Structure 1
Amino acid sequence: MNKQELIDMIDYTLLKPTANKDDITAFCNETIEHGFKTVFVNPYYVAHAHSLLSPHQIKVGVPIGFSLGGATTHTKVEETKEAIKNGAEEIDMLINLGALKSGELDVVKYDIAEVVKASEGLTTKVIIETALLTKEEKIAAANLIVEAGADFVKTATGFNGGGATVEDVELLRSIVGKDFGVKAAGGVRNYEDAVNIVKAGANRIGASGAVAIISGETSTASY
């Protein structure tokens, strides 16, 4: 995998809660400089990022229900709609972990499906926080995501412990099949990590340390 192939695969992220407007501006300029195709910022900054990046055909994505997933479906849906109005072109929602842990699979599926509907055809990824789940829960979650009509299963936020592992990516790929999206996020810190995670089956990577990764360095960021 060459550098450009990796750049095309990375969602560059700046989601830390203390990021200010100047940080977002610098982040967007860095995105343009290095040629990343998609960025993720918190909902408050979607409009600002979109204004800077849309002239360069760079997509702005937004996390929904971030970073715990426990918001109601109505809240997630309204958050999605507002983000789209502000310029968001990709949606990464966090699964309702409490409902999953309670065995309320219909609730989990409905939650995802309603956000997918609100996304109106935009690429929608669903974060499952693999480090917090049993193998059986990972399997159940991945199947629900496919059934609910989303486009990707995503490993983690990087904010709740753990992150993408080769083993988890291989498992998720085996569940969703070859044509579904698998996004690895959390813990991909260098070029070697990225290559290994792609070999395992990921076709998208989320990283706040993307510049270090493509430069052959090691990022200290966990998300």
Structure 2
Amino acid sequence: MASTVADVAKMIDHSLLRPELTNEDVRAGCDLAARYAVASVCVKPCDVALAATRLDGTGVSTGTVIGFPHGSSSARIKAAEARTAVSDGARELDMVLNIGRLRGGDDEAVLDDIRAVVEAAPGTVVKVIFENAYLSDAEKIRACRLSEQAGVAYVKTSTGFAPGGATLADIRLMRANVSERVKVKAAGGVRTLDVLLEMSAAGAARFGATATAAILDDLSGRLARTGVATVRGDLSTDRRMGPDR
């Protein structure tokens, strides 16, 4: 498999979720995302309309978060958030499942929670955030199966706001416990090209990142130094292209 800078860019959701970001910060982040032609920009719910307007015609989707960052809103509120986000222009939704219900073994409540968002936003890409830092492997496996049963497009490791983020072990575990129909998104700690490439090789298809420009500029530089246009293999890093960071 060969991948260009454009291919890798389309694996990135540029994250604009920090609470202190202003409207001008959001506009600048959207402009960066459009310049690099990433898959989407993930903004706070209050910024969806602004981002959708800014990204109109760029080919970059607008995404937002639901029940963020703790997943503790009721299913009814999460569904209402989803409907509002879609109305404002969101085309991708990253929802946090109810972590406490999952840990407590209430699978029916977890399934209903995820399904409420999927059904509230037909035709929208729904990603379920597990927040793996708080879960056992058995709980992560149950979350995978419940998410797929609810009809989501992606399962996602983390919000980026918990004590831990994406790990290779979690990527492999999640990839092994959903069908090929469901993809895996890594978030939390994906700050370098080498980390992205390694996690891609482990099974992640999408990445939440704030270091988008650094990652893609690094890839462009490595390819330029080798005189080739693509990264070959399972997107795994070639150590001849540069040192780890």
Q: Same fold (TM over 0.5)?
A: yes
Which position in structure 2 is the counterpart of 1:130?
Answer: 132
Q: Aligned AA for 1:48?
A: L
Deviation at 1:178, TM superposition (A): 2.8
> Which residue of the other structure, out of 194, 206, 209, is the alignment partner of 1:207?
209
Which position in structure 2 is the counterpart of 1:74?
Answer: 76
The root-mean-square deviation of aligned C-alpha atoms, in Å, is 1.1
1:21-60: CA deviations, max 9, x gaps? 0101111111121111311000101001111101212210
8 Å CA contact 1:63, 1:91 repeated in 2 = yes
8 Å CA contact 1:154, 1:183 repeated in 2 = yes
Deviation at 1:191, TM superposition (A): 0.5
Which position in structure 2 is the counterpart of 1:139?
Answer: 141
8 Å CA contact 2:37, 2:59 repeated in 1 = no
Which position in structure 2 is the counterpart of 1:96?
Answer: 98
Q: Aligned AA for 1:186?
A: G
> Which residue of the other structure, out of 185, 188, 204, is the alignment partner of 2:187?
185
1:138-160: CA deviations, max 9, x gaps? 01111100111111100000101
Aligned-partner Cα distance in 2 for 1:165–1:71: 26
Which position in structure 2 is the counterpart of 1:164?
Answer: 166
Aligned-partner Cα distance in 2 for 1:169–1:121: 26
SS of 2:57 mapped into structure 1: helix
**Unaligned residue ranges in structure 1 (runs of 5+):** 218-223
Aligned-partner Cα distance in 2 for 1:209–1:88: 22
Which position in structure 2 is the counterpart of 1:153?
Answer: 155
8 Å CA contact 1:190, 1:214 repeated in 2 = no
Aligned-partner Cα distance in 2 for 1:34–1:57: 11
> Which residue of the other structure, out of 193, 196, 199, is the alignment partner of 2:198?
196
Q: Aligned AA for 2:94?
A: D
Matches within 5 A, 1:29-44: 29-44=31-46
Deviation at 1:215, TM superposition (A): 1.9
Higher mean C-alpha displacement, 197-206 vs 175-184: 175-184
Which position in structure 1 is the counterpart of 2:22?
Answer: 20
SS of 2:218 mapped into structure 1: coil
8 Å CA contact 2:154, 2:184 repeated in 1 = yes
Aligned-partner Cα distance in 1 for 2:57–2:6: 21
Deviation at 1:120, TM superposition (A): 1.0
**Unaligned residue ranges in structure 2 (runs of 5+):** 220-245
SS of 1:62 mapped into structure 2: strand
Aligned-partner Cα distance in 2 for 1:179–1:80: 22
Q: Give TM-score, length-normalised by structure 1.
A: 0.94
SS of 2:177 mapped into structure 1: helix
Which position in structure 2 is the counterpart of 1:51?
Answer: 53
Q: Aligned AA for 2:58?
A: H
Aligned-partner Cα distance in 1 for 2:181–2:78: 27
- Bigger Rg, structure 1 or 2: 2
8 Å CA contact 1:158, 1:185 repeated in 2 = yes
Which position in structure 2 is the counterpart of 1:118?
Answer: 120
Deviation at 1:172, TM superposition (A): 0.4
Deviation at 1:212, TM superposition (A): 1.4
8 Å CA contact 1:172, 1:182 repeated in 2 = yes
8 Å CA contact 2:9, 2:37 repeated in 1 = yes
SS of 1:126 mapped into structure 2: strand
